[in-house]
Structure 1
Amino acid sequence: MTVRQKCEQSSPTRENGGGFDEISLERLGRERPPSFSGAWPEVAFCFSIIMSQILAEYYISGSNVLLPTLIEELDFPAASAIWPSTSLSLAVTSTLLIFGRLTDMFGGYAIYIAGAGWLTISSILCGVSQSWLMLVIFRALQGLGLAAFLPSGVMILGKTYRPGPRKNFVFSLYGACAALGFFIGIFFSGLCSQYLTWRWYFFIGAILSAITTLSSILYIPRDLKETRGNGATMDWAGCALSVAGSVLFVFAIAHSSYAPEQWRTPYIPVCFVLGVVFLGAFTYVEGWVVKNPLLPGDIFAVKYMKPLAIALLFLYGSLGVFLLYAVLYMSEYMGATPFQMVAWTVPMAVGGLILSCIGGLIFHLISGTILLMISCLGYLGSGLFFAVVPLGGNYWAFVFPAMICGTIGIDISFNLANIFITTNIAKAKQGIAGALINCTLHMGIAVMLGFADIVHTETGYLGARDSYKAVFWFEVGLAACGLVLVALFVRIKEAKSELTIEEREALAAEARGEDTVQDGV
């Protein structure tokens, strides 16, 4: 069935014989995708995909609360205390683009299920670790599972839902689950720290991962045959350079505060310089040498993509600083027990669910630029409230509004970025689109957390509490940079129902008199 016939079926009214009126596109944007036979398969499908967000945040936030217990029971060396968290983020950041390309080669179904299954196995291995080194290694292996199913999940959603209110709502739910996963991670880590053992934190994660794997096998549409027709191939040079560059670069920044002589420790500047060299070589190879670049340049040819990606690096970096240092500050200076922190972070989970419902209803009505600026103000507020909280500060006056601001920041920006990027990139490159979104998120968190550690260390002479304050002011600065970039250089329209890239190309072919058939459009 051609694009024109599909739209005519949806609405008999058509403008000027050239395009289609907003009513017909709006109806298409609200319809259930044809791959679902009813409401239940669609609900089960959405559950399977949004669990990737919940599990990703579960393993990031919960490990922060669990860290003191891990250090004590596994006898972590002081210089290695950051690695239960950093090893996972480093593995995710360095391999996201590779798994994004694998997704474009073999389809979202296969890579997503492989990632969820591997996360189940690696979570069990974390739970049975007998030493700190074993745990760090298995945490890195967990990162490979997350790196596999994060871009494939975005690809599957982007290919399944056409632009419109239904896609906005589903992506809003997907983004809201970042805050929900953050809360679930803290809840179970607090529960395990206080009443069980730290091992059960990983075993519970393995159970959730196994449920996700089973649900995904049953309800995610298979797309191998369709995807193999795209002709995507692996860029091995890009793989080697991107992994080496990102690992060395992030390692140098993240570990510099814990090295024996910090930046004067010889291996820190060596790793940093080598990381920059490899990343520079990666940029050159991708742009001018290989024919099948791991990160195609036409992705950044999309209008406003470059300033948006840079702004998101700052914004997501501020999120990473907030998630870690807010937990540390509440524990060390506000006397919060693990279960108190669970209660104190409830506003992020509840606020995320509310925002997801509201976002799905208004994203097609309000300018994306305005919504992004509101998101930036949320990021800024989350750091500002902690930066000015006095000693013995009141929860309702400072922590509660900071949590509300945090969920406004992440839910709006993550959802809009997902909708904007997946709508403006062809289906054949949706895996790379998903990798770009999540690579921006995790690279921003990993790098900016490294700089936050440097700020914390270098301001130690002010006293422990004031050095935390300096970190929160650093977070405010990151959010302010993102706000300036969005206000000056990013213009995103309302996320209305519209033709996909493939449909616009098919219409152009029809206008030229070519016989173009769009199956399943």
Structure 2
Amino acid sequence: MENTSVNSRSSEDIEVKQERDTRTEGNQDVRAKTPTQPERPESPIKEAAFVAVVCAAQLMTQTGLSLAIAPLHIINDSFHASSKQLTWASAAYSLTVGTFILVAGRLGDLYGHRLMFIIGFTWFGLWCIVGGFSAGSNLVFFTFCRALQGIGPALLLPNAVAILGRTYPPGPRKDMIFSFFGATAPGGYSLGASFSSLLAERVWWPWGYWIMGIACVIFAGLGILVIPYTPTEERQDDGFSWFVRLDITGAVTGITALVLINFAWNQGPVVGWDMPYTYALLIVGFILLGGFLAIERKAPCPLLPPSVFKGEVAWVLGCISAGWSSFGILVYYYYQFLEVIDGDSPLLATAKWAGSSASGACASVVTGFLLGRISPSIIIFIAMIAFTIGQVMLATMQEGQVYWAQAFVLMLITPWGMDMSFPSGTVIMSNSMPREHQGVAGSLVTTVVNYSISLGLGFAGTVQSYVDDDGKDTLKGYRGASYMGVGLAGLGVVLASCFMLITWLRRDRDPKSKSLSEQPV
């Protein structure tokens, strides 16, 4: 009887505590937050379908990137274009993906992540279909279509991350889900490269874009069926108009700055840096970027919350920027080396890269287990080491060398950089921001990843144009571009080392304090 009474009182105490916790959270009324928590699918089958459709955003984004890299020379020959314009086919896509993501994340926070997810796939599919029909036009229109295709993933990626971030609380389950999300990247790239190469060689390259468009429309429909309704955060009437809430002034300034900077770096190798408009646009872009940062500091509803400017978040984004810019160089020049120098067909070159899917999946599973067990700063450091090793192997690869010596090894190692840095960085950002800013949290990492890929190609293209003796020594140009990638990956190692050191010093100074990188993620 006494034990029963004690248990009854304990149960009552727990119920009272739960009721008190429901009323207050951090001395703030959370009644507005309760109805905004998305419902997690009830059955394992429904949850698997939900996770698969959301992860398809990452899968199709990387598929879209590879559509113009593997069969690039076939596409370029069909337009009878100069080889100096080759990088634009992939750079234009990554440019808009990385540029418009921040705005897309804010749109999701305000109008619903599920809605933006569905619109993103629909837009992506539409412009993939139009891109296929650009075969009857010229390379300029094809590049224009590639740029508009990138707006689709810009809508997809941050809102997919936000849907997962709001559905799953911090913990091992969330870590593994985000690792699955990252694992689809190398698989998506291999999928797109394989089918685009096969269709380009055996049928006609536009079929790759038409099939891609149809698949995107199907995923949009699946999103309607399997993604639960994700209501927007209810906010008290603060008197701000939609113009202020979307931070239109900051958005226009920031997007213009990023576009100009990226355009200048990728156009410079095409027309030459002696053209006045290239460096003029670069200067204007940096001026506008400074203006954007000043606007964000004072904006009532900034696209970049104040927490972005904190040291540890900046370290994470800096490491990811350096590592992924080197990855963009590696994957582009890997194909160029195999196809141009060794004479492989696009399909054979893709087959030599195909093992990256399995390697990336292993890396993601390992990262899922490591998150929460060791500091993410260590995981990011290991990722930067993987990027660097892959770049060094590409830069020193010899003409006619047996595939198993270096090309095979770098193909296995590089995905570990991708699938260790992206999940850990995304989880840190997701856990460091409140639920109403999950769209922005999701957009920050994906913005840095995709914009860095495009910018890295611009850096490498500039180096290539200055060291290849006006196209007479192609191998020398490729090596110069690859060494540019080595420098960027090495910068990532330095930043990650500093980040890890700062984390350890802070822990030793105050063992009870936990930085963002050491919090359970």
Q: Same fold (TM over 0.5)?
A: yes
Residues 496 and 8 (structure 1), Cα distance of their counterparts in 2 relative to 1, 3 Å cut: farther
The range that moved more, 122-131 or 222-231, is: 222-231
The answer as to 2:445 corresponding to 1:437 is: yes
* Residue in structure 2 matched with residue 478 of structure 1 by the alignment: 488
Residues 495 and 188 (structure 1), Cα distance of their counterparts in 2 relative to 1, 3 Å cut: farther
* Residue in structure 1 matched with residue 293 of structure 2 by the alignment: 283
Match for residue 203 of structure 1 among 200, 210, 216:
210
- Any idea what the Cα deviations from partners look like across 1:324-381, whole Å, max 9, x if unmatched? 0111111112222222122211221011112222222232222222221111111001
Q: Distance in 1 between matches of 2:150 and 2:67?
A: 15
- Any idea what the Cα deviations from partners look like across 1:284-320, whole Å, max 9, x if unmatched? 11113x211121222333x511122112111110011
Residues 80 and 398 (structure 1), Cα distance of their counterparts in 2 relative to 1, 3 Å cut: closer
Match for residue 299 of structure 1 among 304, 308, 315:
308
Aligned to 2:301, what secondary structure does the other structure show? Answer: coil
The range that moved more, 354-363 or 166-175, is: 354-363
Q: Distance in 2 between matches of 1:277 and 1:153?
A: 32
Alpha-carbon distance, 1:486 to partner: 0.9
The answer as to 2:370 corresponding to 1:358 is: no
**Equivalent runs, 1:35-434 vs 2, <5 Å:** 35-77=40-82, 80-129=85-134, 130-132=136-138, 133-226=140-233, 233-259=245-271, 262-288=272-298, 290-301=299-310, 304-434=312-442
Alpha-carbon distance, 1:8 to partner: 6.2
Give the conservation status (yes or no) of the 8 Å contact 1:171–1:415. Answer: yes
Alpha-carbon distance, 1:408 to partner: 0.8
Give the conservation status (yes or no) of the 8 Å contact 2:175–2:427. Answer: yes
Alpha-carbon distance, 1:277 to partner: 1.1
Q: Distance in 1 between matches of 2:236 and 2:224?
A: 22
Q: Distance in 2 between matches of 1:203 and 1:276?
A: 38
Gaps of 5+ in 1: 13-32, 499-521
- Any idea what the Cα deviations from partners look like across 1:136-182, whole Å, max 9, x if unmatched? 22222211111111111111111111111111111111101111111
The range that moved more, 428-437 or 486-495, is: 486-495
Aligned to 1:221, what secondary structure does the other structure show? Answer: coil
Q: Distance in 2 between matches of 1:496 and 1:305?
A: 13
Q: Distance in 2 between matches of 1:387 and 1:80?
A: 22
Q: Distance in 1 between matches of 2:184 and 2:354?
A: 13
- Any idea what the Cα deviations from partners look like across 1:225-256, whole Å, max 9, x if unmatched? 54677978110111110121111111111110
Q: Distance in 1 between matches of 2:414 and 2:174?
A: 24
Alpha-carbon distance, 1:495 to partner: 7.2
Alpha-carbon distance, 1:496 to partner: 7.0
Give the conservation status (yes or no) of the 8 Å contact 2:319–2:384. Answer: no
Gaps of 5+ in 2: 1-9, 19-37, 504-514
Q: Distance in 2 between matches of 1:155 and 1:279?
A: 26
Aligned to 2:67, what secondary structure does the other structure show? Answer: helix
Structure-2-length-normalised TM-score: 0.85
Alpha-carbon distance, 1:478 to partner: 0.9
Q: Distance in 2 between matches of 1:468 and 1:363?
A: 37
Residues 43 and 392 (structure 1), Cα distance of their counterparts in 2 relative to 1, 3 Å cut: same
Amino-acid identity (%): 28
Alpha-carbon distance, 1:108 to partner: 0.6
